[in-house]
Structure 1
């Protein structure tokens, strides 16, 4: 099989753009086109710019205004129909400065002359006798001073502890003991085993925290020498007693009086 070679077209039949592309290449043609477009834009701007930058044909003339005081209006001539009292008074501007009105002095007012008193001619026979006039009654005895009652003295609170006879070791007041928990027979039986019933012992103790007592001392016992007081003092560390209550408050540290009765086969606390 044979191939036929096609000869290139002659240069006369090719366009200028094709000739430039073959001679300078594709990039040169693009640069030339860009320069041509910029040249056309510059010509367009130069054509439009004179119309934008040219000043307007007509100018607005400036107007000037003058400021001058208004002329004063001439006073109206007096009319026959208008009363004289209604005529306008001349203004202060029309009066000259030299013609100042002197101040009017205050009028002097003389003090009024008192008139002499009128004397009545009363004969002595008509004058009353002073000795016959009623006298002021003599003052009687002074009334006793009225006693003003003040507020009543505050009495003891119904819930306060009862005060009992006797004193503590240093003269402290004693209050009746209020048991927080009465001692059990088993707590007293071992200590009272050496005592001789029947009888009783009376002791005074100081209250401390946790419903306990300490510093107990013997006040009295019956019968003498029965050893009941010594046994109660030895067992007092187990007692649980409330502090005395004064004015509604518990007073820890106050002294209480405790009595223990010991009978045959039983004990009783007070």
Structure 2
């Protein structure tokens, strides 16, 4: 019995030592595995970073080869081959002129030297005359041919003259300006027409001395586009309505004629 006790202790000690060795071996294996895994991770990240850098270098190299060709060397000027002489080149000496023979003092009546011909008068360049430039202007004569002119006070003026029938069948009267349009107001529209010419239109008067529903009656010469230009500019016409019984009748139809002429203005 006494001899069996030490054997049991030795066996337990051996088991404990064996388990301690196994734990150390397991810890060592785990540490080595972690170090190997960390090393593998570092290598993988380094390879990826190196791959990105290499890709950038390849792209930059491709662009340089594709778009930037090396310039050809320029030939050196031929003057560089010859050495420059620091000294100034010697000017050629002028040859001595032979002396002119002096006239003899024995000649009592020497012939006078002929006078040089007078210089020809220099011809001044002719100044080109400025050519007249065409100037577009509108000539408005509604009262000369169609209806009486404005006499001042509209209440004292007589009734308007009837000159025809409106497009809707109502009476058509001669027009009288409330305010004549200026040349600047008509120039932009009449510049599209082929002047000189005229246009005759019929318009309905509305309050405010404006017109609407304008219709082209005639134009001349045919194809001059005068009617289209005058109809486009009619929105700014200020015309008095027809006077019937001493009163202005808004809504009445009036006839308006616009003459278009071309004047030449000298510069």
Could you say which structure has the larger radius of gyration? 1
The structure showing larger relative contact order (alpha-carbon pairs under 8 Å, at least 6 residues apart) is 2
TM-score, normalised to structure 2's length? 0.40
TM-score, normalised to structure 1's length? 0.39
Q: Which has the higher helix share?
A: 2
